[in-house]
Chain A
Amino acid sequence: MSMNTQGRPTGIGTLSAASTGSALIPDEPLLFEIGDTHHSGVDLPEVEIDDSRLGGFARKTKLDLAGLTEPEAMRHYVRLSRMNYSIDSGMYPLGSCTMKHNPRLNEKMARLPGFSDVHPLQPVSTVQGALELMSQLSHWLMTLTNTAAVSLTPKAGAHGELCGMMAIHAAQQARGQGHRTVVLVPESAHGTNPATAAFLGYTVKPVPAREDGTVDVEAVKAALGPDVAAIMLTNPNTCGLFEPQVIEIAKAVHDAGAFFYCDGANFNAIMGVVRPGDLGIDAMHINLHKTFSTPHGGGGPGAGPVVLSEALAPFAPVPFVRKAADGGLELVEHSEGEALGRITAFHGQMGMYVRALTYMLSHGGDGLARAAKDAVLNANYVKARLQDAFSVSFPDYPAMHEVLFDDSSLAGTGVSTLDFAKAMIDEGYHPMTMYFPLVVHGAMLIEPTESESKQTLDAFCDTMLALAADAKGNDKERFTGAPTRAPRRRLDETRAARSPKLRWEPEEAAPAAAAE
């Protein structure tokens, strides 16, 4: 057992086209190790071609792309899938990411050929249903937020931020306010906020948070000046708190001639309960996956529509849908005046619009408000059950949809936030968000979402309490050695960054292993 297998797939070459683990504990080789360039899982006719129209650019080098037959591909990707945790297999209390139930009706509807098999540039007369769907989704978003306009095109939440801030930039250019070069960003903001502002050439000026985790209107007033273009505030914020002075902050920002950008990543906590337009926001993106249950897919695709105030509406990017003179719907594809133009080819994430609207219709206005209240109820229930064993970072206000703990309850145990999270894996839970937000030490951000039942929450809290007791006992190894019941033990992330290996290369003769 002392054979040196560092960095090598275990047992490669001992089995062809099969896993080296047992059938239920997958340990899967790479596609390139099991496939070859002659295998194919797609039957296509071989045709003779005259290559005179290729202008001498016909491929001469080999692609060296491994192929799999259909059954091989099926097994390979099914086996790989079983090395993933998912919301359909267990609770995923990942704060700030919102892992809630993804209804399969959404998927079924998105696959109707009238939505999935439609080209973005086919004649507008042949896609009236798609435009109607976009118009209905816009109506729901504007009603829930009480805003004047919405741009559906952004491809993800961060792209929505970029879109909203570009609209602010365009509006200020149009008003001759190009001297406004500073954007205020509270320390508790998502990292995308300062990145977005800097991306557009703004200078980022941080606004400190109060001890209670919220932003002080006086601190905002002190930072405001004639050079400030906007504030980017996350509300509810990343500490899981609703900003109690948000209306005063909006007024101060507007009085100073600046715009109020709200990061709406956490809109799921307040939909149907608070309309951001009533708070004075000028622009806010909404992550459809967090709030309206589109699939997470191991990352994207996301979708980040942006709602806009009347002042910003003329600066929305194209394309957008509007009522035509004949009562039908038309697509505006070219900007007029000083609008910001186009931020993506085509019309945005139609597949996500279908899923989001399906979810909205399923819940209705009443159900969306109910879902927000249940999400907040669940977060506060977890907070109440865990607060004696874990240190609640900001206890003065109710938690919104997520609750933030710091690592002070682990002080002196030798167990870090990371160790604790890895031990949760062995207990069958996806860990909470760790070390974010940066405003507290060793952050643990828990977001149960409205999907979880009381029974599930109780089981989760019981596990967390038992783990806390173990951490304070003497069983350190259980944490520092975790996970033991996952497809891999702890992975060496430093090694991956120091000598990046970002693609597969054929193994050389592997003399080290052979010589062993």
Chain B
Amino acid sequence: MRYLPHSDAERAEMLATIGIASEDALFSAVPRAAYNTGAIDLPAHSPEFLVEAHMRALSGKNRAAGDGPFFVGAGAYRHHVPATVDHLIQRSEWLTAYTPYQPEISQGTLQMLFEFQTQVAKLTGMDVANASLYDGSTGTAEAVLMARRLTRKKKLVLSGGLHPHYRDVVKAYLKDDPDLVCLPASPQGQGDILDHIDDQTAAIVIQTPDFYGHLRDLEKAADTAHAKGALLIVVVTEVVSLGLLEAPGTFGADIVVAEGQSIGNALNFGGPYVGLMATRKEFVRQMPGRLCGETVDAEGKRGFVLTLSTREQHIRREKATSNICTNSGLCALAFTIHMSLLGEAGFTRLARLNHSRAIALADALAKVPGVEVLNKTFFNEFTIRVGKPAAGVIEALAQRNVLAGVPVSRLEPGKPELENLIVLAATELTTDADIAALANGLKEVLA
């Protein structure tokens, strides 16, 4: 029990100061029927080396992405994280600090969040951003609710190119609301979302690059939505794409939600990730989540505080904009440091590198007999159709140590038209040897 500082003698001394005879008296309010004095049926405490051995054994049963050719994307991406990022986020003052409730002694966290908000606003081409949400999927659910508050209209239309998990999260948050329209999957990239906008529509949700990798025309979508008094919500699951593609704000997006995992954050088997949300200045009071704002101290020096908290649950309780009580602070820090290291020059180079690796991958796979590349447009991810059910193909390639992408059927089960589709991603870490291994593997498996 290396983390507990008291000796038994100290405990006795403290009980004497309190004026009670035993520790049991500390729990006198607990009904005796529920007070457990016996041992709990769990292993006893362990020395550090045994805990470490146990965790290493579990870790060793997983195939890490870096252990071989790897093409899995679909909303989470394997990028290189500079050593500096991981070093800095492990400094105590970042790692073991809490919510900056006392701004005078939390200026580090607050200034970092102000930098983060500025970076996100610039990347998305929007006026303002919040200090992060849990992830892109919950951020999308929050965005549609925000659109309802802003427009006082109910109908929501989700594009068929939206990540199926994101769609499912919105469905759960809205509890099968009849005003939620989820368009069928559109793996060919021909969505008809604009036909579904009418005067009752609060917002349409479009992902770009979409789940299948296609780039979407946002300008026309924004114009059509705005003509009917609806908002355009744009979802980006691969934030690196913003280094090469025009910002959604330039096209007239009203709310932009993105998954920020690609910058500074590891894959972590799905979490923790960092949700980015940005909007127009006039909508800021309906934006959920924490916000950091600039102000001055008693001596007139610039400083930062959490602000506009009257939207939040600790003040407005049942009238709050959302039930969110925290942000992804440490993940936002990793994002901000990595983005600072990249800067405009590095971020643009990273995006170009990703796109060029994906072109190399697509061109190599197009030559494999039995493979059809569905995309005319893509950034670092695209969809192929193969001659067999994709799940079996992926499993067979995994046996050859090639992790070849995501079978669409894993996220969209029971849809025969999607059964042979695979979504694959390349990043800056994808080598020519990886691509060759995948192409050869596919040849064998599809033969």
In the assembled complex, the Cα of A413 lies from the Cα of B23 at a distance in Å of 37
User: Are A42's CB and B96's CB within 8 A?
Assistant: no
Find chain A residues with CB under 8 A from B336 CB.
31
Task: Say which residue of B62, B109, B122 sits within 8 Å of A127 (CB atoms).
Answer: B62
At the interface, yes or no: B433 with Cβ under 8 Å from chain A?
Answer: no
* Cβ contacts A to B, 11 pairs, < 8 Å: A30-B115, A49-B355, A54-B355, A77-B112, A99-B96, A109-B52, A120-B270, A122-B65, A377-B15, A381-B17, A496-B294
Cα–Cα distance between A376 and B303 once the two chains are bound (Å)? 37
For chain B, give the interface size range: 35 or more
Indicate if B1 sits at the interface (CB-CB under 8 A). yes
* Bound: A296/B98 CA distance, A: 5
A447 CB → nearest B CB, Å: 11
Whether A45 pairs with B349 at a CB distance below 8 angstroms is yes
Asked if A121 and B11 sit within 8 Å, CB to CB, the answer is: no
Query: Bound state CA distance, A133 and B315, in angstroms?
Result: 38
Decide if B5 is an interface residue (CB 8 Å cutoff): yes
> Within B302-359, which residues are at the interface with A (CB < 8 Å)?
302-305, 307-310, 312-320, 322-331, 333, 336-337, 339-350, 352-353, 355-356, 359
A496/B165 in contact, CB under 8 A: no
Flag if B314 contacts A274 (CB, 8 Å).
Answer: no
Known interface pairs A55-B377, A78-B88, A242-B27; A42-B403 also in contact (CB < 8 Å): no
Residue on A with the closest CB to B312?
A191
Is B247 interfacial (CB 8 A cutoff)?
A: yes
Bitwise, A95-128 to B at CB < 8 A (1) or not (0) is: 0010101110101110111111111111101111
The answer to whether B18 has its CB under 8 Å from any CB of chain A is yes
Contacts A49-B352, A113-B66, A344-B169; A297 near B102 (Cβ below 8 A):
no
How far is A13 from B300 in the complex, measured between Cα atoms in Å?
18
A175 at the interface (CB under 8 A from B): no
Please name all residues of chain A whose beta carbon is closer than 8 Å to the beta carbon of B290 when the two chains form the complex: 299
A475 to B112 Cα, complex, angstroms: 36
Q: Which residue of A lies closest to B47 (CB)?
A: A362
B410 within 8 A of A: yes
User: Which residue of chain B has its CB nearest to the CB of A99?
Assistant: B98
* Interchain CB contact under 8 A, B317 and A191: yes
Which B residues between 147 and 185 are near A, CB-CB below 8 angstroms? Answer: 163, 165-166, 168-169, 171-173, 175
Least Cβ distance of A375 to chain B in Å?
10
Chain B neighbourhood of A186, CB < 8 A = none
Q: Is A81 at the interface (CB under 8 A from chain B)?
A: yes
Q: What would 14 more interface pairs be, CB under 8 Å, given A296-B97, A298-B106, A500-B307?
A: A6-B296, A44-B428, A101-B3, A112-B59, A119-B267, A123-B398, A143-B42, A195-B322, A244-B30, A351-B269, A493-B307, A495-B295, A496-B295, A497-B308
A22: Cβ under 8 A from any B Cβ: no
Given contacts A53-B378, A317-B172, contact A496 B315 (CB under 8 A): no
Q: Do A39 and B250 touch (CB < 8 A)?
A: no
| Bound-complex Cα distance A447 to B304 (A) | 26
Q: When the two chains form their complex, are residues B319 and A198 in contact, meaning their CB atoms are under 8 A apart?
A: yes
Docked pose: A470 CA to B312 CA in angstroms: 35
> Contact at B330–A130, with CB atoms within 8 Å?
no
Q: Which residue of A lies closest to B399 (CB)?
A: A125
Contact bitstring B2-42, A, C-beta under 8 A = 1, else 0: 11111000110111011100010111111101111001111
The reply to whether B165 and A244 form a contact with Cβ atoms under 8 Å apart is no
Across the interface, B72 reaches (CB within 8 A) one of A9, A121, A496, namely A121
Q: How far is the CA of A431 from the CA of B102 in the complex (A)?
A: 8
Q: Are A397 and B29 in contact (CB under 8 A)?
A: yes
Are B270 and A300 touching (Cβ within 8 A)? Answer: no
Cβ contacts under 8 Å, A32 to chain B:
115, 118
Asked if A330 lies at the interface with its beta carbon under 8 angstroms from chain B, I say: no
C-alpha spacing A295/B272, complex, angstroms = 12
Whether A365 and B111, one on each chain, are in contact in the complex, defined by CB atoms closer than 8 angstroms, is no
By the criterion CB–CB under 8 Å, are A84 and B109 in contact?
Answer: yes
Q: Which of A1-42 contact B (CB under 8 A)?
A: 4-10, 27-28, 30-32, 35-42
Chain B residues contacting A84 (CB-CB under 8 Å) are: 93-94, 97, 105-109
Q: What's the least CB distance linking A439 to chain B, in Å?
A: 13
Which segment of B135-143, B195-203, B224-232 sits at the interface? B135-143
**Chain A residues within 8 Å of B411, by CB:** 121, 333
B residues 71-103 near A (Cβ < 8 Å) are 72, 74-76, 78, 82, 84, 86, 88-103
The residue in chain A whose Cβ has the minimal distance to the Cβ of B379 is A54
Q: What is the distance, in angstroms, from A499's C-beta to the closest C-beta of chain B?
A: 9
Q: Which of B92, B166, B325, B341 has the most CB of A within 10 A?
A: B325
| One of B76, B91, B105 near A486 (C-beta < 8 A) | B105
Quick check: A83 and B108 within 8 Å, CB to CB? yes
Contact string against A for B residues 242-261, beta-carbon threshold 8 Å, 1 for contact and 0 otherwise:
11111100100000000100
Contact, CB under 8 Å: A362 / B27: no
Q: How far is the CA of A343 from the CA of B271 in the complex (A)?
A: 13
A143 touches B344 (CB 8 A): no
Q: Is the CB of B247 within 8 A of A61?
A: yes
Residues of A within 8 A of B315 (CB): 191
Most-contacted residue by chain A among B63, B114, B378 (CB, 10 A): B63
Give the contacts of B347-384 with A (CB-CB under 8 A): 347-350, 352-353, 355-356, 359, 362, 375-379
Which residue, A156, A158, A246, A452, has most C-beta atoms of chain B within 10 A?
A156
Report the minimum CB–CB distance from B156 to chain A (whole Å): 16
> How long is the Cα–Cα vector from A70 to B346 in the complex, in angstroms?
12
Given that A297-B329, A500-B284 are known contacts, is A422 also in contact with B104, CB under 8 Å in the complex?
yes
Q: Any chain A CB within 8 A of the CB of B128? A: yes
Does B291 lie at the interface of the complex (its beta carbon under 8 Å from any beta carbon of A)? Answer: yes
| Of the residues B6, B46, B318, B375, contact of A198 by C-beta under 8 Å | B318
Instruction: For B31, give its contact among A86, A244, A275, A349 (CB under 8 Å).
Output: A244
Complex CA gap A392/B378 in Å reads 63
B119 touches A65 (CB 8 A): yes
* B-chain residues with CB within 8 Å of residue A27 when the two chains form the complex: 301
- Residues of B contacting A155 with CB < 8 Å? 134-135, 138, 271-272
Bound-state CA distance A362–B290 (Å) is: 34
The reply to whether B55 and A354 contact each other, CB–CB distance below 8 Å, is: yes
Give CA–CA (A199, B298) in the complex, Å. Answer: 38
Query: Cβ of B35 and Cβ of A10 under 8 Å apart?
Result: no
CB-contact partner of B104 in A115, A349, A453, A488, under 8 A? A488
Are A102's CB and B350's CB within 8 A?
no
- The answer to the question of B446 belonging to the interface, with a C-beta cut-off of 8 Å to chain A, is no
Q: Is the CB of A491 within 8 A of B1?
A: no
Within the complex, which residue of A92, A158, A334, A422 is in contact with B323, where a contact is CB–CB below 8 Å?
Answer: A158
List of B residues within 8 angstroms of A295 by Cβ: 95-96, 330
Which residues of B are found within 8 Å of A244, using beta-carbon distances? 29-31
